[in-house]
Structure 1
Amino acid sequence: MTLFEDLQLIRLALRRQSQRTSRQALTRLGLVCEGTPRSPMRRQDGTRGDSLYYSLLAERWAALRDTLRTGIGAKTSVASGLTPPAPGQ
């Protein structure tokens, strides 16, 4: 099952704490940073921190999906000696 095709989503959004998860990793995946609310929540340890909001639109999903499949296929093929799948397969 895929989020955009099967569930017919038009937008995927996620919130992350500013200390966790690499910002570069999310932007490399094609997510766009939409903003940084300042200290919106209290953490379990009582401290406060900023949140970052990211999103991915359905229009960008097809290109991202093909890029991910190509990258994963290339890594798998190197390890197994196989040819990676063509984009869109």
Structure 2
Amino acid sequence: MIGILFENDDVVVVDKPSGLPSQPGEGVGSTVLSVVEAELGFKPFPVHRLDKETAGCMILARNAAAAAAWSELLAERGIGKFYRAVCA
């Protein structure tokens, strides 16, 4: 089960756990995209990626138009990504 932090008609923001890949790749089983599709019943469009080892908020669009709009916001720095490293 993946945590939902925010949801509306255009996007879902999920709490991606460390160790779960954002999207499919060679030799990859479950991904954020496959888990969201199975749990929420729609095919998500990733607005951005987070590395497999990175935990945090991930924006998934519910449709191609929303994905394009949110991707443009990221590209034009209308919204941003911030990272905090936790070292032990």
* TM-score, normalized by the shorter chain, greater than 0.5: no
TM-score, structure 1 normalization = 0.28
TM-score, structure 2 normalization = 0.28
Q: Which protein has the bigger helix share? A: 1
The structure that has the greater radius of gyration is 1
